[in-house]
C-alpha cells in the first residue's frame, strides 16, 4: 500500500513540474513570437519589401548570442532568481515600446526590442536549465512536450492575439497589453521554488564550466551535425509564412486568429501527441517521423505554388498542419538536446545548442527573404524540404552516434513515469 501511495505522490509531483514548466515557457515565448512572427506581418502590411523583412531577423540576435553569458547562470544565483529579474525587464521594455510605433520610430523601437531580447534570451537560458534539471530519463519526453505546449500558449499571445489587439486598438494599447500578459505569466515563477534540487558545489579546479567543456562533449557534437542541417530546412520554410499569408490576401486580424488561436491549438495538440510518441517510440524514431512530416508538407506547398492553383483556404490548411509538424519536431528534438547536456552545466550546454539554432534562424530568414523575392515562394519551400530530406539521410549516423555517447547516462527510449 505504501508503494502505491509513493507512486501516486511521484506522479502528482511529475504533473506539477510539467504544469509549472509549461507556464514558464509560455512567459518566455511571448516576446520571441511577437518579434519573430507578428512584427513581420505588420511591416509587410505597411508595404515593407520581403528582403528587408528577412533582415529584421537580426532582432533575434540575443537568442543567438546567449551562450556568451549562459555560464553565469550555471555559476551564480538560482534559475528562479534570473527568471524573475528578466520578467521585470521584459515588462519595462514593453511599456517603453508603447511610445515607439514602427512606422515612425523603427530605429528606436529596434533598440528597445534588442534590449528586450537580451532579457528574454537570458530568461530562456534559465528556464531551459531548470527544465533539464527538474526532469530525468523517465520524464524528459513529457517535460519537452509540456515546454513546447507552454511555448505555443505564449505564441498564441505574442504571435496571434497581439495582432488582433493591434488591428483594433493600435500600437500603444497592444504593447501595454503585452506587458500585462507578461505580468500574469510571472505567477508560475513564484511557484517554481524547489522545482529542481540545488546544484552540487564542486571542488575548485575539478570542473570548469564553459564552452570548451561543451564542445568536448562528443554526445553533443554528434547530435549538432543533424541539428544544423535539419533546422536550416525548418527555419527557411517557416520564416516567411506570415508575409506569405498577407500576399494571399488574408487580412491582419484573420492572420492573427489563424496563426494565434489556430496555430496554438495545432501546436498544443501536436506537442501533446508528440510527448506520447517520444515516450513510446523513442527519441530518434520520433525525430525522423517529424522530419518526414515537415518535408512532405513543405513539398506540398511548393507543388501548389508551382501549379499556381493554391487558394487561401488550402494555404492556411497546409500551414496549420505544418505548425503541428514543427511542434511535434520540437518535442522530439528538444528531448534529445536535453539528453546531450552535461548535468554539471545544463544552462551552458543547452544555451549553446539553442544559440546555434538561433544563428541558423537569422541566416535562414535572411536567405529565405532573398530567395522568396528572387524566385518566389515555390522555390523557397522546395529548398526547405530538400534540407530536411538531407537531414533524414544523416539521422541514422549522427543521432545513433549521439545516442551511443549518452547511453551510459541517459537511455534513448524515455519510459513512462
In tens, the pLDDT along 127-160 reads 888 777 776 666 667 777 777 777 777 877 777 7
| The pLDDT of residue 42 is above 50 | yes
Q: Which residue shows C-alpha cell 517520444?
A: 278
| pLDDT of res. 16 | 64
pLDDT per position as a tens digit, 288-334: 888 899 899 888 888 887 877 667 777 777 778 888 888 888 888 88
DSSP designation for 195: S
CB neighbour class for 2 (10 Å; exposed up to 12, middle 13-18, buried from 19): exposed
User: Does some domain include residue 263?
Assistant: yes
Burial of 356 (0-12, 13-18, 19+ CB in 10 A): middle
pLDDT of residue 96: 93
Name the burial class of residue 98, with classes exposed (0-12), middle (13-18) and buried (19+) by CB atoms within 10 angstroms of its CB.
middle
Q: What is the model's pLDDT at position 414?
A: 36
Tell me if 412 is assigned to some domain: no
- What confidence tier does 8 reach under pLDDT thresholds 50, 70, 90? very low
- Number of structural domains found in the chain: 1
Q: How far apart (Å, rounded) are the C-alpha atoms in residues 71 and 347?
A: 7
47-76 pLDDT, tens digit per residue, is: 777 666 766 667 777 877 888 888 888 888
Cell of 184: 500574469
Element of type H or E holding 236: helix 218-239
On whether the CB atoms of residues 257 and 167 are closer than 8 A, the answer is no
Domain at 46, CATH number: 1.20.1250.20
Average pLDDT of the chain, as a whole number? 76
**Is the per-residue pLDDT at 124 higher than 80?**
yes
156 occurs within a structural domain: yes
**pLDDT of 172 strictly over 70:** yes
Predicted local distance difference test score (pLDDT) of residue 407: 45
Q: What is the pLDDT of residues 78-119, one digit of tens each?
A: 888 888 898 899 999 999 988 888 777 777 888 888 888 889
Lowest mean pLDDT among 141-145, 189-193, 267-271, 379-383: 189-193
C-alpha cell at 398: 549522427
**pLDDT for 335:** 82
Q: What is the pTM of this model?
A: 0.67
In-domain check, residue 233: yes
**What angle, rounded to 10 degrees, do the helices at 140-155 and 2-33 form?**
40
pLDDT of residue 120: 85
Q: Dump pLDDT digits (tens) for 340-369.
A: 877 778 888 888 887 888 788 778 877 888
Is 1 contained in some domain?
Answer: no
Question: Tens digits of per-residue pLDDT, 399-416?
Answer: 765 454 444 443 333 333
Q: What is the predicted pLDDT for the residue at 161? A: 78
Q: Which domain holds residue 268?
A: 8-193+210-406
Beta strands per DSSP E along 126-243 = none
Model confidence band, residue 164 (pLDDT cutoffs 50, 70, 90): confident
CA 20, distance to chain mean position in Å, is: 17
Amino acid at each position: 500500500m505504501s508503494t502505491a501511495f509513493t507512486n501516486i505522490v511521484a506522479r502528482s509531483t511529475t504533473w506539477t513540474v510539467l504544469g509549472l514548466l509549461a507556464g514558464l515557457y509560455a512567459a518566455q515565448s511571448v516576446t520571441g513570437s511577437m518579434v519573430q512572427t507578428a512584427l513581420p506581418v505588420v511591416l509587410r502590411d505597411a508595404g515593407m519589401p520581403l528582403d528587408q523583412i528577412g533582415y529584421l531577423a537580426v532582432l533575434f540576435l540575443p537568442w543567438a548570442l546567449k551562450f556568451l553569458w549562459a555560464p553565469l547562470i550555471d555559476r551564480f544565483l538560482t534559475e528562479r532568481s534570473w527568471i524573475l529579474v528578466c520578467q521585470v525587464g521584459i515588462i519595462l521594455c514593453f511599456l517603453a515600446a508603447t511610445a515607439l510605433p514602427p512606422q515612425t520610430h523603427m530605429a528606436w523601437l529596434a533598440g528597445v526590442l534588442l534590449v528586450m531580447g537580451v532579457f528574454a534570451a537570458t530568461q530562456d537560458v534559465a528556464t531551459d536549465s531548470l527544465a533539464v534539471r527538474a526532469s530525468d530519463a523517465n520524464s524528459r519526453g513529457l517535460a519537452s512536450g509540456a515546454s513546447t505546449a507552454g511555448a505555443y500558449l505564449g505564441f498564441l499571445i505574442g504571435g496571434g492575439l497581439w495582432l488582433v489587439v493591434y488591428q483594433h486598438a493600435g500600437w500603444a494599447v497592444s504593447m501595454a497589453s503585452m506587458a500585462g500578459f507578461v505580468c500574469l505569466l510571472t505567477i508560475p515563477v513564484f511557484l517554481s521554488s524547489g522545482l529542481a534540487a540545488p546544484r552540487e558545489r564542486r571542488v575548485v579546479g575539478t570542473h570548469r564550466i564553459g564552452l570548451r567543456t561543451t564542445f568536448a562533449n562528443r554526445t553533443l557534437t554528434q547530435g549538432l551535425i543533424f541539428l544544423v542541417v535539419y533546422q536550416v530546412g525548418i527555419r527557411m520554410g517557416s520564416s516567411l509564412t506570415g508575409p506569405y499569408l498577407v500576399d494571399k490576401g488574408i487580412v491582419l486580424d484573420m492572420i492573427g486568429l489563424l496563426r494565434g488561436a489556430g496555430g496554438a491549438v495545432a501546436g498544443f495538440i501536436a506537442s501533446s501527441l508528440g510527448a506520447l510518441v517520444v515516450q513510446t517510440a523513442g527519441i530518434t524514431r520520433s525525430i525522423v517521423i517529424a522530419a518526414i512530416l515537415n518535408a512532405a508538407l513543405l513539398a506540398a506547398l511548393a507543388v501548389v505554388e508551382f501549379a499556381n492553383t493554391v487558394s487561401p483556404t488550402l494555404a492556411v490548411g497546409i500551414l496549420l498542419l505544418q505548425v503541428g509538424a514543427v511542434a511535434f519536431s520540437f518535442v522530439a528534438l528538444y528531448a534529445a538536446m536535453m539528453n546531450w547536456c552535461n548535468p554539471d552545466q545544463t544552462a551552458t550546454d543547452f544555451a549553446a545548442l539553442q544559440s546555434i539554432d538561433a544563428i541558423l534562424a537569422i541566416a535562414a530568414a535572411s536567405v529565405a527573404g532573398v530567395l522568396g523575392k528572387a524566385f518566389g515562394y515555390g522555390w523557397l519551400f522546395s529548398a526547405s524540404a530538400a534540407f530536411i530530406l538531407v537531414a533524414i539521410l544523416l539521422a541514422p549516423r549522427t543521432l545513433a552516434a549521439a545516442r551511443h555517447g549518452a547511453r551510459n547516462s541517459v537511455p534513448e527510449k524515455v519510459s513512462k513515469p
